[in-house]
């Protein structure tokens, strides 16, 4: 993870320091808390352009209070659960502030093995060219109990909402385990509001390190 953290952290810091402040949409990033009882759901399918299995991701985030929440993350491939995780989240910053920092701890299974994880998320809302925008960096550490495997992840998201019905965002995903090489991937996405709080999410990703395939993404967001 260490080769990727300095540029990601520097880019995020420059954005936070130089751009005007604004509050992003509540579904923009995991660092922002949700009001009690509010739910955000995302269902995503990914598949390589050259074929292969369809990978399914399910994300559920539930607001428990002004600064607390519960997150469920599921990943499935070829009919098997690759990841089943639940996180408890606490937001350290004042609700409504443009910059938000949250911490999460959780447990579950990774490829069928019991695991625990900790996560820190830093998000910032701003305006650029008259449009709402946001940036978030999330750092995650994972430990698998049976194998003793340690892994770290860094996810960076930069997004802009030029109209109330459109969001465009770019993500960089980095992953490094103690027994594997660095994995690095970028994904460009566009989300289109279909009706109410339901969005269609379309994307294309490319591997930079560890895997060089290209994948398409089709997803649905809902908040209620």
For 137-179, what is each residue's pLDDT tens digit? Answer: 999 999 999 889 999 999 999 999 999 999 999 999 999 999 8
What confidence score (pLDDT) does residue 179 get? 87
The per-residue pLDDT for 4 is 37
Spatial CA neighbour of 194 closest among 163, 160, 218, 220: 220
* Model confidence band, residue 30 (pLDDT cutoffs 50, 70, 90): confident
Q: Which residues contact 13 (CB under 8 A, 6 or more apart)?
A: none
Q: CATH no. for residue 171?
A: 2.40.160.40
Where do we find the tokens 């060089």?
Answer: 212
Q: What's the rounded mean pLDDT across residues 21-33?
A: 57
User: Secondary structure of the chain: what % helix, strand, coil (to 5)?
Assistant: 5, 65, 25
DSSP 8-state code for residue 211: -
**Total domain count for the chain?**
1
Q: The domain containing residue 214 runs over which residues?
A: 5-223
Cα–Cα nearest to 224, from 35, 68, 91: 35
């Amino acid at each position: 993870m260490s080769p990727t953290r300095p540029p990601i952290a520097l880019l995020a810091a420059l954005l936070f320091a130089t751009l005007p402040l604004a509050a992003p949409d509540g579904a923009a990033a995991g660092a922002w808390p949700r009001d009690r009882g509010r739910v955000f759901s995302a269902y995503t399918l990914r598949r390589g352009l050259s074929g292969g299995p369809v990978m399914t991701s399910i994300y559920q985030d539930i607001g428990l209070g002004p600064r607390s929440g519960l997150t469920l993350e599921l990943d499935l491939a070829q009919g098997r659960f690759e990841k089943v995780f639940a996180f408890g989240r606490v937001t350290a910053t004042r609700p409504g502030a443009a910059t938000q920092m949250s911490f999460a701890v959780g447990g579950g299974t990774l490829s069928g093995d019991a695991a625990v994880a900790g996560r820190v998320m830093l998000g910032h809302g701003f305006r650029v060219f008259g449009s709402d925008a946001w940036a978030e960096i999330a750092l995650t550490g994972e430990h698998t109990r049976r194998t003793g495997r340690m892994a770290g992840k860094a996810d960076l998201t930069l997004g802009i909402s030029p109209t109330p019905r459109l969001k465009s965002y770019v993500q960089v995903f980095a992953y490094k385990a103690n027994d594997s090489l660095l994995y690095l991937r970028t994904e460009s996405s566009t989300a289109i509001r279909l009706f109410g709080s339901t969005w269609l999410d379309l994307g294309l990703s490319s591997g930079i390190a560890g895997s060089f395939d290209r994948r398409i993404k089709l997803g649905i967001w809902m908040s209620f």
